[in-house]
Chains A and B, each alone.
Chain A
Amino acid sequence: MADELVFAGIRDLGARFRKREVSPVELTETLLGRIAKLDPSLHAFVTVTADRARADAKAAETALLRGDARPLLGIPMGYKDIYDTRGIRTTAGSALWADRVAEDDSTCVARLQAAGCVMLGKLITHEFAWGIQSPGHHFEPARNPWHRDHIPGGSSSGSGTALAAGMCVGALGTDTGGSIRGPASFSGIVGLKPTYGRCSRAGVATLSWTLDHTGPMARSAEDCAYLLQTLAGHDPLDPASSREPVGDYVRALERPLRGLRIGVPRDFFFDGADAEVTRAFETAMATYRGLGAEVRDVTIPSIWDSPSFMVIMASEAFAYHERDLRERPELYGDLLRERLLSGALYTSAEYVQAMRLRERLRNEMLDVLRSVDLLATPTSPKPAPTFAAMWDASLGFPRSNTPPFNLSGLPALALPCGFASAGLPLSLQLAGRPFDEETVLRAGHAYQQATDWHRRRPSV
């Protein structure tokens, strides 16, 4: 089957299904074949659920023949392996959970499956969504299809790899400090971190309660809109789930962009950025001006307080893992164990002060979003680092532009906006007002109608 179909989007596939040009069974078999061919070297999947995928695809085909027109019917998906799936192991990329099988589907998986999606399998995650797998770890880390010596981003690493390599049509990710947007950035795909509370976290392994988000990953803003349409909505099983009404994300894509106001916060987000990153970003802003948007600089006075994010994330992560860390530390990977333990070293007063800084930053962002409709930044100051750099504990974490939007809870989309000279993808981040995913996705979609970065494919 031609690459053109393997990389097709949700709307296009739905139309082809209904015209009977291709069936969900044929598409699923093709993707399973592609996984068998590519995944031994890319390591995106922890578990391939081939039998389940074939059964889902057959059910979708039967429903299509009955005239069922649901947009996600027959769409092959991969689920990050921290989303519980009933009867199928959910490992969180960790030896600690290597054989763990959940009794129920997570809410997000249940909603997508009820909408007719085909479950291709479970996608590797950085260990417990924070620790990249080092050599000798129980699980192999996913490789970046654009350059296998480089990470695909994380923690939703398998999701980024599988989408970039054309092994699934959509995927689920989670984002505590950028784990949807980072892989989107480094793998050249699209990822949406919705507003905190917009999508349920029930049945998803916790990293940090007040920062964790679930959301869709795909190859276009349009596909993210289709997936969000099914994922969004109140869930009584998630204490942070919002009752805010769900928008019409797909219909909103067609609204014109003219008059949209985009604010560019110059402080912090461009600190240490590669010249290629800055150039690609400015070119993207020129594209937006050409589409009728107004682009201007804005200031978020407390943005340099963002690194206090780590006080919150590490403290909450330690609270979640403390018992296992003390009783079975050998089951954690080396890098993750020390990162988690660092969460025990903050005082309660420091946690509270970090939460106060967080609230001040959030209020300032909301103030800025009274004068503009969106904030735009590079998603990452640099393209994907190498595995060697990530495994070297002396080098520390690469700088990231994503945590401020976990602190503030604002919806944020990462989408491709160019390539570095080394052939690695570059990415644009768009963030909007709380629960205004419609505007974020609309702006992403308009950009992708005017550019073709998201249509470039790695040579795999």
Chain B
Amino acid sequence: MNEITLEDVRRRAAVAGITLRDDRVEMVRRLLNEALAPLRRLDANAMRTTEPAATFDARGGDDGR
């Protein structure tokens, strides 16, 4: 994945059915670019399988709810 361009933002917006103000496209581009930078560095296949989760117990694991 490369850096996000203004054209990428416009294309993604069109796919999502979203209209962005012209003077805010650059702001949105920067938001996406910074947020996606870690994903650009990621080799998703090499990463150890982890479950998306956000629950804890005092030991740091599943709290059994």
Q: Cα distance A346–B31 when bound, in Å? A: 11
Do B34 and A310 touch across chains, with their CB atoms under 8 A apart?
yes
Which residue of chain B has the shortest Cβ distance to A305 in the bound complex?
B38
The 9 closest A-B pairs by CB, nearest first: A355-B52, A310-B35, A434-B56, A305-B38, A344-B16, A359-B50, A345-B12, A338-B24, A366-B60
Which residue of chain B has the shortest Cβ distance to A435 in the bound complex?
B58
Tell me which residues across on chain A come within 8 A of B16, comparing CB atoms: 344-345
Tell me which residues across on chain B come within 8 A of A334, comparing CB atoms: 21, 24
Also in contact, A435 and B48, with CB within 8 A (given A338-B28, A341-B18): no
Q: Mark A435-455, 1 if CB is under 8 A from B, else 0.
A: 110000000000000000000
> Which one of A66-74, A87-95, A240-248, A291-299 is at the interface?
A240-248
Instruction: Return B4 CB to nearest CB of chain A, in Å.
Output: 9
Q: Is the C-beta of B7 less than 8 angstroms from some C-beta in chain A?
A: no
Q: Cα distance A205–B54 when bound, in Å? A: 19
> Could you tell me which B residues sit within 8 Å of A by CB distance?
9, 12-13, 16-18, 20-21, 23-24, 26-28, 30-32, 34-39, 41-42, 44, 47-48, 50-58, 60, 63, 65
Q: Is the C-beta of A308 less than 8 angstroms from some C-beta in chain B?
A: yes
Q: Residue among B26, B39, B42, B47 with the most chain A CB within 10 A?
A: B39
Which residue of chain B has the shortest Cβ distance to A340 in the bound complex?
B18
Do A356 and B50 touch across chains, with their CB atoms under 8 A apart?
yes
Interface of chain A residues 390 through 406 with chain B (CB within 8 A): 393-394, 396-397
Q: Cα distance A115–B65 when bound, in Å? A: 28
Tell me which residues across on chain B come within 8 A of A211, comparing CB atoms: 54
> Could you tell me which A residues sit within 8 Å of B by CB distance?
195-197, 210-211, 240, 242-244, 304-311, 314, 334, 338-339, 341-342, 344-346, 350, 352-360, 363, 366, 369, 393-394, 396-397, 409, 433-436
Do A356 and B47 touch across chains, with their CB atoms under 8 A apart?
yes
Do B32 and A342 touch across chains, with their CB atoms under 8 A apart?
yes
Q: Cα distance A197–B54 when bound, in Å? A: 9
Also in contact, A436 and B58, with CB within 8 A (given A242-B63, A350-B36, A393-B27): yes
Instruction: Return A97 CB to nearest CB of chain B, in Å.
Output: 22
Do B63 and A243 touch across chains, with their CB atoms under 8 A apart?
yes
Do A240 and B30 touch across chains, with their CB atoms under 8 A apart?
no
Instruction: Return B28 CB to nearest CB of chain A, in Å.
Output: 5
Q: Cα distance A78–B26 when bound, in Å? A: 37
Q: Residue among B18, B37, B44 with the most chain A CB within 10 A?
A: B18
Do B42 and A342 touch across chains, with their CB atoms under 8 A apart?
no
Instruction: Return B14 CB to nearest CB of chain A, in Å.
Output: 10
Tell me which residues across on chain A come within 8 A of B65, comparing CB atoms: 242-243
Q: Residue among B37, B58, B60 with the most chain A CB within 10 A?
A: B60
Tell me which residues across on chain A come within 8 A of B56, comparing CB atoms: 195-197, 242, 244, 409, 434-435
Q: Cα distance A245–B36 when bound, in Å? A: 38
Q: Cα distance A409–B61 when bound, in Å? A: 12
Which residue of chain A has the shortest Cβ distance to B9 in the bound complex?
A345
